Amino acid sequence: MKLNEKVSRYLEKIPKSKLNAFISINKNAEKDAEKIQRKIDTNAAGRLAGYVLAIKDNIAVSGMRLTCASKMLENYVSPYDATVVKRIIAEDGLIIGKTNMDEFACGASGETSYFGATLNPSDEKRVPGGSSSGSAAVVAAGLCDVSLGSDTGGSIRCPSSFCGVLGFKPTYGTVSRYGLVDMAMSLDQIGPITKTVSDAALVLSVINGSDGMDNTAIKTKEDYTKFAKQKITGIKIGVVGEFFDGCDHNVEKNVRDGVEILKSEGAKIVDVSVPKTPIAVPAYYLNMFAEFSSAMQKFDGLKYGFRKEGKDLNDTVAESRSSLGEEVKRRILLGTYITMKEFRGKWYSTALKARESIRHEMRAALKKCDLLAGPTMPFTAFKLGDKIKDPVEMYLSDILTVSANLSGLPAASVPLEVKGMPVGMQLHADTGSDGKILFAAAAYERASK
Amino acid sequence: MDKPTIKKVAEVARLNLTDEEISDFSKDFDGILEQFSKLHKEKFGEGDAEEKAAILRKDGTQLDNAVAEKIMDNAPNKENNLYKVPKGSK
């Protein structure tokens, strides 16, 4: 199929979808498709030619709105392209639109968007997971080929698990964050959401590599497509006991079956332990709150974004910021509180120590094996409205994904072959060993089909 | 967390909250911080981290008028290509 036909089909299908997964559509998509098709016809096209991509709406695409699913940025138009977007366009990837998300990435369910919740393509009464809710839903529902999400504490992997697609969070520093609206700078990483391992490897190969605009993106550019073809004979996979504590029986069974498939493909299975797993949630949230409340200070209604005039300058700022949603305000307040001089020693300093101890344990576990395996989420997608009124319960659902961010490790949610609602198996590798996850995921993909 | 503390934090965070928000957050925060106080029961080793300095980009300007114009297009209020903001308080 020619790219323009493919794009036209997507553009017909998207408005008929009830998922509420897109915030903006690229008005030039058809023109872009023609341009890329001409390159394909003359064998002058880049590696992503023929691919139709959707981008999470916290990543800048020049000339398109960048809303972060917030009233604050409802009408903000990106003045430039994020580095990842530049690289996608340079390889002739076609961007079809910007996807819905939890407001400023604050959420694990996809329900906090100012533009309304995204629905799960497998069951529209259930949440798609968050915060990259739209990016996972559009790939699962076949409204584009692949997408980009961002992951601060599981925001790529959680919705990928709930929607039944592959979500990959690379090692911290693998992908430039330039043009990503930061949530917590030391934890954020952009990554692909795809249906197949080879697509994830291709997109990652295009977007990774050092960038002068982000000094944490220091890794030399690598080609990951070679990993999707390797055999896993001899690779050692550590099954982490603590990752199954409190997990739904059905999820546990499916993940253990997934590990058995990897064993039958030649992997060696060992038991490993990460005893500090129960403190991962407080360690993560306290670190994230602190960085998030600081990152959100720039939204003051003065230079861009929503403005509501107040009595004077300070009041105008405070009034404008009142347009932010409940969960965003909750996190700003908690982040401000735990970093105030009086409370910083008790909360933020402790959280930094806890983060380091989790990083230490995760890396020690990875000295005993090549990959850590467990569930991505302790349960399958829950019903819309079930957890949104209980922040503690919502935060606790991130227990299995946050350790990768706290440790800077790569981790992916691999969709399992299941009956009923989708289940994801999570694989972690040591920093820089992202390729190992890809070849284990590819082995599972081949064996399960 | 009592309401005066929430009010103080909101002021530092530059958020105007309604009375309803203050009382809702007041209830929420006790539950959240109680859950997070698990951390205080843990022992952390000597080597466990302190605050690290941020990795920063070198200072420098890249003046691109076309981008500058697009940036100003996003201003909620402007005059002569300058941001127009209310007077500061005393």
CB contact under 8 A, B83 and A303: yes
Residues of A labelled as active-site residues: 56, 131, 155
Q: How far is CA A172 from the centre of its chain?
A: 13
Among A283, A329, A392, beta carbon nearest to B39: A283
- Quote the tokens at residue A292: 């998030």
Classify residue B47: in a domain, yes or no: no
**β-bridge pairing A189-194 and A166-169:** antiparallel
* CA angle (A80 as vertex; A332, A223 as ends), nearest 5: 95
Q: Can you tell me whether residue A39 is helix, strand or coil?
A: helix
Q: How many domains does chain B have?
A: 1
In this structure, are residues A169 and A135 in contact, taking their beta carbons and an 8 Å threshold? no
Distances (CA, A) of A164 to A110, A413, B29: 15, 9, 34
- Quote the tokens at residue B30: 């006790």
Q: Residues 6 or more apart from A194 whose CB is under 8 A from it? A: A139, A145, A146, A147, A165, A166, A168, A200, A203
| Mean pLDDT, rounded, for A179-183 | 98
| B 39-68 residues with CB < 8 A to A | 39-40, 42, 44-45, 47-51, 54-57, 67
Classify residue B33: in a domain, yes or no: yes
CB contact under 8 A, B70 and A77: yes
- CA-nearest residue to B89 within chain A is A312
Residues of A in contact with B10 (CB under 8 A): 333
**Is residue B15 predicted with pLDDT exceeding 70?**
yes
Classify residue B71: in a domain, yes or no: yes
pLDDT at B64: 79
Domains recognised in chain A with CATH numbers = 3-226 (3.90.1300.10)
CB contact under 8 A, A282 and B74: no
ipTM rounded to 2 decimals: 0.92
Chain position carrying tokens 């990837």? A93
Express each pLDDT in A328-364 by its tens digit. Answer: 999 999 999 999 999 999 999 999 999 999 999 999 9
pLDDT at B67: 85
pLDDT at B51: 56
Banded pLDDT at B50 (limits 50, 70, 90) = low
Classify residue B50: in a domain, yes or no: no
Residues of B in contact with A286 (CB under 8 A): 36, 39
Distance, in Å, from the CA atom of B84 to the CA atom of B75, rounded to the nearest integer, reads 9
Min Cα separation A78/chain B (Å): 8
Classify residue B73: in a domain, yes or no: yes
Residues of B in contact with A396 (CB under 8 A): 35
Domain range for B26: 3-42+58-83
Express each pLDDT in A237-259 by its tens digit. Answer: 999 999 999 999 999 999 999 99
Q: For A71, how many CA atoms within 13 A lie in the half-sphere containing its CB?
A: 15
CB contact under 8 A, A352 and B49: yes
pLDDT at B34: 95
Min Cα separation B65/chain A (Å): 11
Q: What is the mean pLDDT of chain A?
A: 97
pLDDT at A162: 98
Classify residue B35: in a domain, yes or no: yes
**Phi, psi for residue A359 in degrees, rounded to 5:** -60, -45
Amino acid at A384: L
Classify residue B23: in a domain, yes or no: yes
Q: Is B13 on the interface with A (CB under 8 A)?
A: yes
**Could you tell me which residues are beta bridge partners of residue A25?**
A97
Min Cα separation A261/chain B (Å): 37
Distance, in Å, from the CA atom of B33 to the CA atom of A330, rounded to the nearest integer, reads 12
Classify residue B77: in a domain, yes or no: yes
Q: How many CB atoms lie within 10 A of CB B52?
A: 9
Distances (CA, A) of A423 to A129, A194, A197, A446: 12, 15, 16, 18
Q: Can you tell me whether residue A37 is helix, strand or coil?
A: helix
